[in-house]
Structure 1
Amino acid sequence: MNSQTPVVSPPSRRKADGVGPATPADARPTSLTCGIEEEYLLVDAVTLQPAPVATEVREIAAAEGLETQAEGTLHQVEVATAAAGSVLELRDELLRARGILTRAAAALGCRLVAAAGPVLPPAEPLRMNFDPPRRRNRIERFGLLSENLVSCGRHVHVGTLSRARAVAASNTIRQWIPTLIALSANSPFWKGHDTGHATWRTVAWSSWPSAGLPPHLTSVDHYEQCVRTLIGSGAALDAKMVYWDVRPGTGWPTVETRALDVSANLGLSAALAALCRALVASSLRQEADGARHPTYPEELLRLARWRACRDGLEGYALDPRNGLETPALALVDALVDHLAEPLASTGDLDHVVATVERLRRHGSGAARQRAAFARRGRLEDVVRLLADETEHGSA
């Protein structure tokens, strides 16, 4: 949601030009780097209500050498890693950042929470961040939609890519967005209600006219025309407001996956980054081999996305390849099997498999939240669970 995305190395002239097919060297997963952005809520340590202390937390964190970014409200803070070749390096960097932010929040009587949305009903109106003026313009134009700004995602950047290859990679990732949503689902409760969905954040965010699944992009020109149409129609202020689930990076030579809920589970964060990188590697390999990217029916992808939002990891999914209902975990297994070769080449396969097995045994973020609520019927227990796990980066 901001321009300070993970730093990536500048592309070479040949890659930046995007001329000619990918070479085998271009298609190697080890040639790709990852960066992660995570957004967090800040809550009062006693009331567990959202606390508008982001400015103060950021100042304290800066004194410890951690650069952060402001978000759409004063109840949120964002961190962005540097680009790295190892997803486990990203996990460790996020663990360090969370530690600094946890201490900063504690100094103000607050807690850092890797929650994808506000669990408790707000006791008072949430305070928007009007700096820079662009944010005020967005709020004035979109009115009550701005309430959905109080949500926290996990964005994965993969680079370095020419714009043409970022467009092609977004098409590849797009086919698996429902499965990635199910893996990351972590927002069943929203402002005091069980929403009946595993990720209400994704549903709420989809109400923005520039959000949701992107179109299947046929070229860079097609992508740029779509962006111009969104801006010209008033649906977006600028290219940064193209909130698609996956998009070419705005201002950076990456492809950015934006559909993921933030969660306490840093092992999952690393696994999702590994899967996104492997999907990009798969896209480049198809290009190098001269193969066509598969295209699934638009209506099935959209239904599959909604089903993933509702059922999450523990329920059923709609397989966009054939329209059949199947256990969500079966599609996760299919994705891991499909990407086994690029995951193995970067040393990530064992970590991804182990992460999926832990989720299978212990439940997704959404399932764990519902289990915490079921014990006493208190949403405060859900917030405490999220805060405790955020401090430790645990599942």
Structure 2
Amino acid sequence: MSDANLNETQSSEAMAAALNSVHEVKIGDVVQGEVLAIEDRQVIVGIQGTGVEGVVPQKELSSQPIDQLSDIVKVGDEMALVVISTIGNDKENGSYLLSKRRLEARKIWAEIEAKFTNQETVTATVSSVVKGGLVVDVEGVRGFVPASMISDRFVRNLDGYKGQEMTLQIIEIEPSENRLILSRKALVEQERKAQLQAVFEKLLPGDIIEGEVARLTNFGAFIDLGGVDGLVHVSEISYDHIKQPADVLTVGETVKVKVLALDQEKGRISLSIKDTQPGPWDEIAEKAPVGSVLEGVVKRLTTFGAFVEVFPGVEGLVHISQISHQHIATPNDVLEEGQTVQVKVLNVDPDQQRLGLSIKALQEKPAGAKDSEPKDVAPSDYQMPEEESGFSIGDLIGKSLDK
């Protein structure tokens, strides 16, 4: 064979080898690209082994925001890319739309699927709050947490979760549809159960501790004791009468509470705020000594007298015989609930929390009026009875029988 024929044969073989080495590019293929140029919002790459170029838009480079393309790539860099689609109709010299972000997402989806199979949890950051739940980012993959799956209790305002990192369970996954449904509810329940167990192990009835007001309802306040809530019933908030807890408490406020009861089986903790405060009857003998004159409000009227509140939470009895120098059939004849009156303290019994009061003792006795009872009044005569916050049989009848 002549030299000319030999050279021609070698050239043909080299061309055939070159053509055979050029791989056809298909959508979905993973290719290796070399950065040829960096433009305003895209990167031009040469697809190795094909002789054609591809384009990587800025949004397809990374799942994270990019200020400048030159911050993350430079000419000559090589990177693995996935083919998304073709650009134009020139298959020989035409470009391809490529993505680095989606290739990374493929790997992450595979990792998430493996965790789902192994019943493992994932860590995600809440990227936005939408109607019905939270949108989260799991290493670049978008996931969704329905509102009902965020906690073991109803959450009215989800805005506070934005930007938070949380551990989640995988409920449903479908990579082909980019669907990833997650839940935090079961994990919260497990965590709360462990916290509740720890609290029950260290608390005893009578303990006084600090907590934070977590929620307010019409019937009471829930106090966070460190991941576990206890209830302060509205009647245990203050010695003063309050219509609703929100009148005196605010969410987030730190309060001191006393443990009233623990029910581990039902997971309930009963608390009291007022039991940590001075009682209304403390030092009552100093605040309302016998003979002192006080101003009070008529709270209740009965057939035998009027109950007058002289301090918040402290009521005394004005027996019907101590209301007026004139004979009256019932207290309603001269008094009404809510009326402000002046009263004189006749007797004080701190142990039994009873006050005997008089209205007529502060009034001038009409000429010719007879005393309705002896001038010397024994303390027992105005003791508060067992019923109606109140009084003994002698109190109800008074000294009227002595006449």
Normalising TM by the smaller chain, what interval?
under 0.3
Structure whose alpha-carbon radius of gyration is higher: 2
More helix by share: 1
The structure whose RCO (Cα within 8 Å, separation 6+) is larger is 1
- TM-score, with length taken from structure 1: 0.17
